[in-house]
Amino acid sequence: MLQEHRREVLEEMNSLELNKEDMDREKLYKQWFALLAVAIPAKRMRMLIEDFGHAKTIFDCSEGAIKNCRYLDENNIAEILNARKRGLPVNQAERWEADNICFVSIEDEAYPVRLKNLEDRPYALWYKGNLPDEGIPTVGIIGARNCSDYGRRSAAYFGKELAKAGVSVISGMAVGIDGLSQGACLKEGGKSYGLLGSGPDVIYPRANEDLYRSLIQRGGVISEFLPGTPAIANHFPMRNRLISAFSDVLLVIEARERSGTFITVGYALEQGKDVYALPGRIDDALSAGCNRLIRDGAGIAACADDILFELEGRMQAHREIIKSDGLSMGERIRQEKKKNKREKENDNIIHDKDPLNNMIFRILRDHERDPEEMMVFIRDNEKAPEDLTLPLLMGRLMELELEDRVCCHGGMYYLPDV
């Protein structure tokens, strides 16, 4: 009996080891694909995953299958084929693990729910420490680097009070308002997360090295850029969209009339987030941007309770994250609508006497697409009109939009909910 029990234990241990090997190899395929983000735009990366399903499939498929992706140009195709010849990034993955750099891709359940509705969501995130807890409210705090005493005191006040209330602070780890609010949050025992314009292992700015290390211990530093990537100017607008995406509410503390802070504000508004601003003196240039935001309809953040009151309503819905599938209530409702729409196949929308309209409806049934992507799918159909050009397709899309049979937002077409 004892020997049999021992054999069962050994078999179970071997099985666990094999499962771990499979999981590690699966992760390597995803990391291999993530390395392509340097050369291939995020939108095309997303289309590849939509078409092939998994990074492993892209690695294993025939060369012809890659070349048939008409949304890829010659350089993109060459990058993928060369990357396949180089093989999986085994040595790099070992270095990342040794440096405690974590990885999550959009194929993983752990991919942040807050990013799933972003049209330009990154395929992968690299981070040290942890990702924000989906069930804990977050406030993004941004503002001037060269801030006043009033700004410094206010950043520390909001960071501290939000931490007391159990709210996580999201920011960019920059000198000034960002770093001050994050430092105050951590000092009070709260959690804070820094979104970086560099790789997760690159400390920028160097002046905030202590903050960087504290964030890793009591929150996290997160980036869509590969480990080792230096901080360069055009990375920061991309980083800013993730600051707003990770934030349930965005708070601006001191900003000039023409400030880079407004890039993040713009993203927040596009993403449907509420923006609050700290009011300031009318003769203070550092408050001109905040006062303008308030004039244009932003909420007034005179104290932490103003933010906490807003969060209470937002988090009521956010706490209903579905434990089984990791989707927020809003995402679940949206997917349910799509499912119902597909099942009903409303005759007025899905079925049409015009063959081109039918092709358009079929293409848009499961995914939103831009006209160029649609042309690729239509040309692959043997029943496609031979004389169809992109201008003619765009004209037809405009007609269908005027008839409320398709919708358009940001250049992407999709079917209306039924």
Domain containing residue 145: 128-318
Is there a domain that residue 15 lies in?
no
Mark whether 133 and 281 lie in a shared domain.
yes
DSSP state of 206: G
Same domain, 179 and 281: yes
Could you tell me if 351 and 287 lie in one domain?
no
Domain of 357: which CATH number? 1.10.10
Average pLDDT over every residue of 196-214: 97
Distance of alpha carbon 215 from alpha carbon 342, whole angstroms: 45
353 shares a domain with 237: no
Confidence of residue 328 (pLDDT cuts 50, 70, 90): very low
My answer on whether 367 and 311 are in the same domain is no
pLDDT in tens, 126-178: 999 999 999 999 999 999 999 999 999 999 999 999 999 999 999 999 999 99
The answer to whether position 397 is within a domain reads: yes
Per-residue CA distances from 118 to 122, 244, 295 (Å): 9, 11, 28
Taking the CA atoms of 257, 262, 268 and 270 in sequence, report the sign of the dihedral they define.
Answer: positive
Does one domain contain both 84 and 179?
Answer: no
Q: Judge contact between 147 and 156, C-beta under 8 A.
A: no
State whether 277 and 382 are in the same domain: no
What total of structural domains would you count in the chain?
Answer: 3
Q: How confident is the model at residue 17 (pLDDT cuts 50, 70, 90)?
A: very low
72 and 218 in a single domain? The answer is no
> Do 234 and 375 lie in a common domain?
no
Instruction: Note whether 78 and 138 are same-domain residues.
Output: no
- Res 279: pLDDT: 94
User: What tens digit of pLDDT does each residue of 339-367 get?
Assistant: 544 444 444 455 567 788 888 888 888 78
| pLDDT band at 216; cut points 50, 70, 90 | very high
Domain harbouring 171, CATH code: 3.40.50.450
Reading the block at residue 362, the tokens are: 């079929």
**117 located within any domain:** no
Kindly state whether residue 112 falls inside one of the protein's structural domains.
Answer: no
